[in-house]
Amino acid sequence: MTGRHILIKGGRVVDPANGVDALMSVCLVDGKVAGLGSPPDGFAPDLEIDATGRIVCPGFIDLSARLREPGQEQKATIASETRAAAAAGITTLCCPPDTSPVVDTPAVVQLLQERAESAGMARVLPVGALTRGLAGKELSEMSALKQAGCLAVGNAGAPLANLLVMRRSLEYAASYGLLVVIRPEDASLKNNGCAHEGAVGTRLGLPGIPASAETVAVAQALALIEQVGGPVHFAQLSTRRAVAMIAQARAEGLPVTADVAAHYTDLTEAAVDGFNANTHVSPPLRSEADREGLRQGLASGTLQAICSDHQPHDVDAKQDAFPSTVPGIAALETLLPLTLSLVRSGVLGLPEAIARLTIGPARALEINSGHLSPGATADLCIFDPDKEWQVNDSNWLSQGLNTPYWGETLRGRVTHTLRAGRLVYQGN
């Protein structure tokens, strides 16, 4: 269903970038935001959406969502996951480069973009590989990746051979205006662990990953950023100490941003008890103190964004002893309800929570999106913050079923998603 002139009426419009939080209408014309408030003279809508009792806000921007295509279509496809993203209110998502083949050539970037456009749901921004084949040794052809449409480069969860490679990558990326995305983890300190090195993992006999695996990596990166510059985005932080280090770096003027995946603000190492493979994630679920540190990082603005870190898997990936299962949670459709739980618990106000899903990630990427300014591309999300729904087969769209929330009742449900003024999702 499309309409060149769309009127969204009766909703509470929350646009943190412009300080808007009020009951008003939103007018869209030809895929752009025409204005907020009363419709302009002569505005004759082709489509009206009644948003009474709902929140109207910019479409969400997810900084990390695996689509598994190309290379792992048995887990998911671009079509299936961008459809799930649209149902989650996500209009733009960043796809990490660890596909097969790796996103280290313009041809793979083009393939991702073409298949995403063919699917017609969420917009996909591929993150290019920092090193060839993610092998951590030779830098990728960043100029070519930039020209192909990449805004950022990273090495996903793959380690770099040494710190000299990181230094050269920071210098090279900066020369092409590319954001470097770092998922901080020291591979030697991780040492094939699968759970947080804490009381729960020790009691269960699971190989531990210390918090220092993350903080040492953050410290090394910050030292190089201080020397050679940035910008750099730290992805999916999991520890209280890392948040404090990023806050200090920002206070000193370093060009760094950071995010956290929604499930790290909700779950702790306690969820691993019982060996539930759907709580096997990387980095691992941390301590209660770490979760509180992440929440406070969001409240203070040190963490600008909440992402899904969506990683859909086939059933077999989670059918083994806990250490042998593949880490990752299918998390697109729980992004909004988990973020809203931060509002209900008093960590964030609703505008601040929406900011972490919209203008925060947009500013990290340095893109003109995540707001409802007149003339902006009409990417919007409409959701019912109090709608309860159960995570089950009847309403789950991702091909990955690997979520620890399966069967649980969550609050907060998207009812409409519009991308460039086109209705790409409509629910109940």
Q: Rounded to 5 degrees, what are φ and ψ at 155?
A: -115, 20
> 71-75 contacts: CB < 8 A, separation 24 or more?
71/99, 71/100, 71/101, 72/99, 72/100, 74/314, 75/312, 75/313, 75/314, 75/317, 75/399, 75/400
On whether the CB atoms of residues 181 and 152 are closer than 8 A, the answer is yes
Output helix, strand, coil percentages for the chain, rounded to the nearest 5: 35, 25, 40
What gap in Å lies between CA 330 and CA 66, rounded to an integer? 9
On whether the CB atoms of residues 54 and 60 are closer than 8 A, the answer is no
Q: Tokens 């200090």 correspond to what residue?
A: 248
What angle in degrees, to the nearest 10, is found between the helix axes of 335-344 and 350-357?
A: 150
- Active-site option among 104, 309, 379, 384: 309
Active site includes 186?
Answer: no
Beta strands 422-426; 409-419: pairing state: antiparallel
Which tokens go with 208? 């531990």
DSSP state of 310: B
What gap in Å lies between CA 242 and CA 293, rounded to an integer? 9
- Which residues belong to the active site? 309
